[in-house]
Amino acid sequence: MKNNRFGILIISVLVIAAVALALFGPLIFRKKVEKRGPEVRQAANAAITSKGVVESEEAVQVGSQVSGIIREIRANEGDPVKKGEPLVILDSGKVAAKAEQAEAMTREARERLMELETGPRPEDIEIARARTRRAEVAYRQASDEFQRQERLYRKDAATLIERDRALERMKMEAEELKGAESNLKKLLKGERREEIEQARAAVARNSAEKKYYQALLTESTIITPIDGVVTERLKEPGEIVDVGTPLMKLINPERMRIRAEIEETDVGKVKDGQQVEVTMDAYRDKVYRGKVYKIFPDVKRKAQKTFDPMASFDINTQQIYIRLDDFAGLKDGMTVTVRYLK
């Protein structure tokens, strides 16, 4: 009986203790946390880290502005290049021929316009008058001969063939006289305004065509846009390229940065100018130091890939740019770990 009473007593004590812990335990724990609040919060926020990628601030993809066949490529992957140097040269033989043709047509159109705007020279008018006088003499002679052949034909003294031949010659000389008189009249009157406008339009049209082919000729030689290094060569000589076709990728190795991504749960915890430590698997014992210099205002879907098969891309991140004090040994495309210091 004593044992039963002792067991009931123990069970009662345990029940009371459990109820007391359930009622007052969270309050006691909260008070302890509040006493240690700053230390707890600091420990929770002290280890913000993210993945990042080493990249160049100045990276370009060189493309073709015209269609054509690659004749020459003057740089390979890893080669240094200088801004303004020829990088890729396309075959431009046909374009050069068309540019020369457009140049000749433009020159002719300008000469014609100058003639119209200047007006006829006195010697041109005298030549036209002399031509008209010769045409008048020739027409009178042809007319007299036709009339003579007509009379002879009616008297059966000439054949129909001879008569018709004289008629055709008279008509031909009449057309020649008409043309000579028209040309003289035109020279004396001056060129019409619409003819001058047409000549000006021809000059503008041929000049535009010349500029177009000259631009194509210039763009057939693709110039290096930056001082840098070739990281990727995408085409080879002999290949056909179209407008916008990527040919090479270049970076400036003297202007590097870290592009990092922090998860949206850490947004607001990183500040502009904040100090960071950067580590990577390639140099396990080395720590690079730097600071944040740009924080993007928006949050987007995670873009960086990692070698972690468990890493999820179904999350949102905020992009951050970091500049290191020293980039020695770091290469474009390397993956790093960024630790944001307080």
pLDDT block averages, 10 residues each, the chain of length 342? 56 62 55 47 63 94 92 94 95 90 91 77 83 93 93 90 92 93 79 78 91 91 94 94 93 94 91 94 90 93 61 77 93 93 88
pLDDT number for residue 282:
85
pLDDT number for residue 305:
61
User: Which pair of tokens denotes residue 311?
Assistant: 């890493």
Measured in degrees and rounded to the nearest 5, phi and psi for residue 330 equal -85, 140
Q: In what order do the strands lie in the sheet with 221-223?
A: 221-223, 86-90, 68-73, 240-241
pLDDT number for residue 29:
46
Q: Report how far residue 50's alpha carbon sits from residue 268's, in angstroms, rounded to the nearest whole number.
A: 14
Render pLDDT for 115-151 as a digit per residue (tens, 0 to 9): 777 766 778 788 988 999 999 999 999 999 999 999 9
Q: Report how far residue 290's alpha carbon sits from residue 326's, in angstroms, rounded to the nearest whole number.
A: 8
Render pLDDT for 278-288 as a digit per residue (tens, 0 to 9): 999 888 889 99
pLDDT number for residue 187:
75
Closest CA to 320 of 273, 250, 254: 273
pLDDT number for residue 113:
84
Helix (H, G, I), strand (E, B) or coil at 268: coil
pLDDT number for residue 250:
96
CATH of domain 47-57+254-340: 2.40.30.170
Determine the Cα angle at 295 with ends 289 and 297, to 5°. 165
pLDDT number for residue 274:
94
User: Which pair of tokens denotes residue 46?
Assistant: 């002290």
CB neighbour list of residue 307: distance below 8 Å, 6 or more residues apart: 335
pLDDT number for residue 8:
63
Q: Contact at 8 Å (CB) between 276 and 341? A: yes
Q: In Å, how far from its chain's centre is CA 93?
A: 23
Q: Can you give the residue ranges of every domain in the chain?
A: 47-57+254-340, 59-90+220-251, 96-216
First to last CA, the chain: 66
Percent of the chain with pLDDT over 90: 58
CATH of domain 59-90+220-251: 2.40.50.100
Rounded to 10 deg, the angle between the 2-35 and 37-45 helix axes is 70
Beta bridge partners of 50: 338
